[in-house]
Amino acid sequence: MTLTARIRFSLAALVLAAGYFYLLIYLIGWMAAHHWPSWWFDVFSSRHVAAVTCLVTLHTAAVLLAALPIGIAAVTIARKDAVLLGLIGASLATVAAVAPSLAPSIWPIVWSGHPVFFVTDQIKLVVAVPFLAWVLRRASSNNRFERSRAASSAGQGGD
């Protein structure tokens, strides 16, 4: 990769990280502000399980909604390296989001609450964009069309 390509790749990663960071803040806040449906508590055995399930479901939906446009942009910008670009952007955004919670006054609160949720949330934040970029890259039909056209051309004796 040339120097200018590396610079463009790095700038794209920074822009995608900033976009993902702001989309996460907006969408997670928006989803958290929604009230769960009235029938939700009747489905689960306890209110605690219902509340935790609702929060995890809404948070996961918000992360995937935030990751989707960033994954599309990563595939558009760097088709071959879209997963790497998504991973770098998501990692930068996750570090920016988690860094304030590492303060000595906040960290004990985070860790004593539900450390499993904290760890799984960070994994979701990092993995969502590269996973969606991989899915979007694999789902596009351009590669299949080119392969089938080349195979039919070779089968007919053409170039």
What is the average pLDDT across 127-150?
75
Q: For residue 79, what pLDDT is reported?
A: 87
126 contacts 87 by C-beta, under 8 angstroms = yes
Q: Which two tokens stand for residue 53?
A: 């399930």
Give the containing element (helix H, strand E) for 37.
none
Q: For residue 150, what pLDDT is reported?
A: 54
Q: Report d(CA 70, CA 93) in Å as an integer.
A: 11
- The answer for residues whose C-beta is within 8 angstroms of residue 40's C-beta and 6 or more apart is 50, 54
- pTM of the predicted structure, to 2 decimals: 0.78
Q: For residue 156, what pLDDT is reported?
A: 61
Give yes or no for residue 123 having a pLDDT over 70.
yes
**φ, ψ (nearest 5 deg) of residue 146:** -65, -40
Q: Report d(CA 150, CA 154) in Å as an integer.
A: 6
Give yes or no for residue 31 having a pLDDT over 90.
no
DSSP track, 100-117: GGGSTTTHHHHHHH-HHH
Query: Domain residues of the chain, as ranges?
Result: 3-98+106-153
101 contacts 110 by C-beta, under 8 angstroms = yes
Both ends of the chain: CA-CA distance in Å? 30
Lowest mean pLDDT, pick from 2-16, 77-91, 95-109, 123-137: 95-109
Give yes or no for residue 103 having a pLDDT over 90.
no
